[in-house]
Chains A and B, each alone.
Chain A
Amino acid sequence: MSNPARCLLAFFFVALLGGCAGAKAYERGPLAKPKMLLEPDPDAALLEQHVYEYREGATGGYGGGGGGCGCN
């Protein structure tokens, strides 16, 4: 990874950690809702990522995975 990319990544990480207030247990109602999950439906995500992975040059970062081609 080039130096500018590394610096950008470090900046994001520090900014995230430094700027986060968090939430107390009694404040977590909205966060606990299924629609706030990063991956609310793993089966839907699996099918969706499969469509992208075999039609685009990039992969990774969104979970999914699994084997086989199913390329077309």
Chain B
Amino acid sequence: MRLQLMLLALATFALFLVFARTAHAQSLAKIDSRSGVYQDTDRTTILTTNIAARGQSGRFGVTARHLVDVISSASVDVVTAATGRFHETRHETEGGLMYKDDVRTATAAYIYSTENDWTSSTGVASLLWDVDRHNATIKLAGTYVTNDVGRSGDATFRRKLTVAGGTAGVTIVASPRDLVDLGYTLSLLDGYQASPYRFVAFRSATGLGLAPTVPENDPNTRVRHAVTLRYNRHLFTDSALRSHARGYLDDWGIASVTAGTEYVIGFGAWETAAFVRGYAQQHATFYKATYDTAAQYMTADRELATFVDAFAGARVGWRKPKLGILDELRFEVKGSGFVFKFFDFPRLQLRSGVIAEIAMGVAF
């Protein structure tokens, strides 16, 4: 299934390119690859490679993309599940279509993702509409995801999770140097949202923690709200400050804030940027580090605990237009570091790590 989807996406893209390059002078094709390595102090390493091909001819465009995650982990979650280090590979394939005219851009995409214990299908559609002589853009987008959740080594374990979401937003040209974007995203989840590998811990009569033995149990439904504000400011001759903030609430009791900024400077063919991002969240109402008695909902998920995190890093890119037969050739390297501080998750109070990426792209 995975191979057929990937071949279908690539064949569609190749046919489109052949048609586009012969039928339309205003065609453009781009191929981008990006590889990254993630490593943290929770003994988790992830190697990611993403390859995307995009073509545009006149008002129409296509996208084909394939991503591979190779995961190796012996994190506290794995220890909780009483297994050793695990290795697995995730494949994600996307095929998309685009229509663009003077004031509207419409996109639709299908994404198929699979790994040994999880399969998902995602449909995404969006519409951007310029109004007020291109001084504002209205955005509407919708997503629908179906997930089949399994458990490694247990063919009888099958659970479903569906996610329906929508985004409404507006981007406004506030001045010749300022761009402001405001958006609201609603997500509705229905189905299995726990992990079949996580078990909750109980406190004994003596007050000591007991070994985790009871599978976690999250509510089946979840309603999530996110409000995002993004602000880009062009500075000096060729630099920009790109900032963002998000407020988030859900009916599991999680409230969080996210804020970050990136400063980008261009030096001819070179571009460099430095960025920081911070995040803070309050735990879900049913989350506890250890439980005294069995409750309707119990979780050992550190993502539902109270914590803060911070990311910081830099990237350097090089872009050369009109190089031989190529319309453009570009490279980028990016490195970042991060730290998480958990306030009520005893098994992991601190996690830090690094992420390194290298990217290359061509347009022709």
Contacts and interface: CB of A to CB of B under 8 A. Distances in A.
A7 interface: no
B357 A22 contact: no
B118 A69 contact: yes
Given A16-B182, A59-B187, A47 B232 contact: no
Contacts of B92: 66-68
A70 B309 contact: no
A44 to B, nearest CB: 6
Contacts of B242: 35
A20 B34 contact: no
Interface string B265-309: 010000100000001010010000000000000000001100001
B216 interface: no
B174 A60 contact: no
Contact of B46 (A25, A67, A72): A72
Contact size class for B?
Answer: 35 or more
A61 B226 contact: yes
Interface of A: 1, 9, 12-13, 16-17, 19-25, 27-31, 33, 35-36, 38, 41-44, 46-47, 50-52, 54-62, 65-72
Interface of B: 32, 34, 36, 38, 44, 46, 48, 50, 52, 65, 67, 69, 71, 73, 75, 77-78, 90, 92, 94, 111-115, 117-122, 124, 132-136, 143, 145, 147, 165, 167, 170-177, 179-185, 187, 195, 224-230, 232, 234, 238-240, 242, 244, 246, 248-250, 254, 256, 258, 264, 266, 271, 279, 281, 284, 303-304, 309, 332, 334, 340, 355, 357, 359
